[in-house]
A and B are shown apart, each in its own frame.
Chain A
Amino acid sequence: MATTLTRRGLGAAAAGLTLFFSLSPAGAQTALPGSLQTNRRLDAWLRISADGTVTVFTGKVEIGQGAVTALLQMAAEELDVAPARIRMVSGDTALTPDEGFTAGSQSMEYGGTALRYAAAEARAILLDLAAGKLGVPAASLTVSDGAIAAPGGAGTTYWAVAQANSLRREATASVAPKPPGQHRIVGTSLPRLDIPAKVTGGAIYVQDMRLPGMLFGRVARPPSYGAKLVSVDLDAVRAMPGVVAVVRDGRFLGLVAEREEQAVKARLALQAAARWEVPAALPDPARLHEDLRARKTDDTIASEKRGDAPAVARRLSASFTKRYIAHASIGPSAAVAHYAADGSSVHVWSHSQGVFPLQRDLVRVLKLSPAAVVVSHAQNAGCYGHNGADDAALDAALLARAVPGRPVKLQWMRDDEFQWEPYNPAMEMALSAGLSAEGRIVEWTHEVWSNHHNNRPLNPKEGSNLLASWHLAEPHPPVYPRALPQPAGSGDRNAVPLYDFPNQKVVFHLIPEAPLRTSALRTLGAYGNVFAVESFMDELAAAAGADPVAFRLAHLKDARARAVIEAAVKLAAEDQGELPRGIGFARYKNLSAYVCCIAEVALDRDSGAVRVPRVWSAVDAGQVITPDGLLNQIEGGIIQAVSWTVKEDLPFDVKGILAKDWSRYPILGFAEVPKLRTAVLNRPDEKPLGAGEASQGPAGAAVANALARALGKRVRALPYTAERVKAAMA
């Protein structure tokens, strides 16, 4: 049972805190757990209503990963209320806590932890009020679905005792959440809140919004990043049926029409009416990695370790590469924006992963006051990172500004998304290692070259990372955030090995200048780095004459890591098969969930096509909040990573991006997806860890190691598309 506080105790604590804050310099506040640290009021997180409902406010948002359902479970658990009583409000600059981005697999750890402590404290406050009303000690009370029972049969409810101001106070985190042994809701697979609407046509996506008087917007982007607008005749477009407004600001072109199909036709006409000068400014795709390596770098040492070790008997080195990957969301980016009739304020609905950072960029670009811009989250198709969501929000606002008083629904076309989303950067990883005479790794170096992996809207002071803002007549400069340092890292994420090597050096060569627009895709640099580390581990195992699994375990002290590898190996051993198999392992960010994958590969020697019929995996994501949700994330991550690995290679030439539709960017289909088996190692006494990005690195590496076995030769350059594998076989 959680510790409860007496009314006197709470009152004194609250008064004490107020005094403390009023006298303390800024920044000297008590540290609070998770996102409570930056959103310190209990009523920012929870509202208990007299009608028997609870409203939970979260800054984290649903992007198809099931986070909002899992957060509901955590709140319901601590409050002792049925999940059905809870209404979730998520990602709204006017309503919810600012929790930054829903990214980095941190919703459980930060958002969930905050909710746990807030809900536990709220429960204690309500019990304290009930104790006063019933005249019994709070410690004698029990709660079941909000009904409070005292010994002897007296009782009341949360709904009866909660006052409007009961939670209007600073959180103290003084009430410990329940120990895992008492969990009844956490650890069960509560069905996702959003799925019934998604299978019946309910209004759940931003595209499903219909506001009175709403118009439809489209943009007509330049044909490439650096294209110059030579001339454009807007009059013919303005005269088209249904067209209400045509917007030109610098080289930003867009329009608004009464009907959606009119907007689509007008967009085609606007594209045809614009004459562009297109420079040959992108790298020769055949020399991509040479081009990137020739650029200036900002170098940081991600890890350096010196220790006593046996002499090096043999040295190996190898260089690995990966190319650009697109987020390739199934639903192109979209937004709804509604300017007040007097143009003084705007409300934007966006599928952004960070409505607060987006709002700050919008304030600057639209030249409005912070109070005049509200951003509310609404879902779209999965984004898997920083896709066009935030850009579409600005597009919608720029178009809506031309028709104040009327809402505008802006939808990107398929080619807008493929051509303008920020891609996962191309990378190069140069590894070298020294083996002792006994076949142990005694030296390890890993150098990684990469563009920025995170160019989200971020900077609260100047500049903007919203696409259209760069194209305006008064352009805003893009802002390159500082690369996230280790241990999480960005381009160097998971470049520091979890293995125990006596000597190691890991260097991150950040290439600030990016020929193609890049930003965050699931795992940032971890997919590339784990591919390199795990490929090289197999190469070293072979050089040492060791079994790849035994070789890994021999260099790994972390007990949870070892358990995950052993579990995956055991699971795979249950299924017979002739096809070559490979292993891949990582602990995401070296801080989050552990995953080991074993993949089998079927190689078509005539075409070079690589198929991955089966993948076995094991995961330790700490305490499991919702087992089915965890499986869905791990297995979806494996399938997406197999697609990246064997299918995806963003086509471009010196003049621009060549992918305009799915024909030039094929992804894994139903006939190709692997059958999956997954073992979950639940650790109820460990903290819950996100799982949305844990399996991609290990899955890609496992495919690489299986392919090396199938080919009898290692291919160190991703992706393994049929033509590239065929060329490597020659």
Chain B
Amino acid sequence: MPAPITLQVNGREATVTAEPDTPLLYILRNDLELNGAKFGCGLGQCGACTVLVEGQPVPSCVTELQAVVGRPVTTLEGLGTPDNLHKLQRAFIAEQAAQCGYCIGGMIMEAKALLDRNAEPTDPEIREALSAHLCRCGTHNRIVAAVQRAVKEG
């Protein structure tokens, strides 16, 4: 039985019992029952599992549990709730910037990290920031428009 590990997720402490090399994604989804990060490839190639660790976007599918001890983790749920949406979530709804939506949580987290370091990114800067994220439905331009809307509406 592995020793309990405490981590900070969305401003709260949580203690889980899992092997220290467990991918953070499975801890978030299964132990903490957070849906925002998605399993897409398990290889850090698609971006669907993106969360913020100390404000930096990381693929949680290839980030080990032990690597985030003492480092605050933020997931999509940590940005806002249906009743109290974050500006990015509001903008994605306003632009209807999703088809299947499976990639969207990762997109929003990447956009959050972008806006935190660059409050007014240009269109190419937004595309560059999202370049590691795959979308199969072809919703890219709406996603960019949603980020631009979040910038404008603040």
Contact = CB atoms under 8 A, between A and B. Distances in A.
Contacts of B23: 261
A20 interface: no
A632 interface: yes
B131 A201 contact: no
Contact of B18 (A64, A259, A633, A639): A259
A670 B144 contact: yes
Contact of B35 (A201, A669, A670): A201
Contacts of A330: 38, 40, 46, 48, 100, 102-103, 134-136
Contacts of B48: 330-331
A260 B19 CA distance: 12
Given A201-B105, A382-B100, A261 B18 contact: yes
A632 B102 contact: no
Nearest to A263: B26
Interface string B114-154: 00000000001011101101111111111110000000000
Interface of A: 63-66, 189, 191-192, 194-205, 207-208, 210, 216, 259-261, 264, 328-332, 379-382, 384, 411, 413-414, 628-629, 632-633, 635-640, 643, 661-663, 667, 669-671, 673, 675-676
B85 interface: yes
B102 A331 contact: yes
Given A414-B40, A670-B133, 6 more contacts: A195-B98, A200-B82, A207-B35, A636-B137, A638-B138, A671-B124
Interface residues of B, number: 58
Contacts of A264: 42
A640 B136 contact: yes
Interface of B: 18-19, 22-23, 26, 29-30, 33-36, 38-43, 45-46, 48, 75-77, 80-82, 85, 89, 92-93, 96, 98-105, 108, 124, 126-128, 130-131, 133-144
B34 to A, nearest CB: 6
A38 to B, nearest CB: 28
Given A198-B104, A330-B102, A64 B137 contact: yes
Q: Is the interface of B mostly helix, strand, loop or mixed?
A: loop
A261 B22 contact: yes
Contact of A205 (B18, B35, B96): B35
Interface centre among A200, A203, A379, A639 (most CB of B within 10 A): A200
Contacts of A194: 101
Nearest 10 pairs between A and B by C-beta?
A64-B100, A639-B138, A198-B101, A636-B138, A381-B102, A201-B36, A382-B100, A64-B99, A670-B127, A414-B41
Nearest to B48: A330
Contacts of A632: 96, 99, 139, 142
B139 A413 contact: no
B93 A199 contact: yes
A202 B82 contact: yes
Contacts of A384: 136
28 contacts: A189-B96, A196-B93, A198-B105, A200-B80, A201-B36, A201-B105, A204-B35, A207-B38, A208-B35, A329-B102, A330-B38, A332-B40, A379-B100, A380-B102, A381-B102, A381-B103, A632-B96, A632-B139, A633-B99, A636-B139, A637-B138, A639-B141, A640-B138, A662-B41, A662-B45, A667-B136, A670-B126, A670-B140
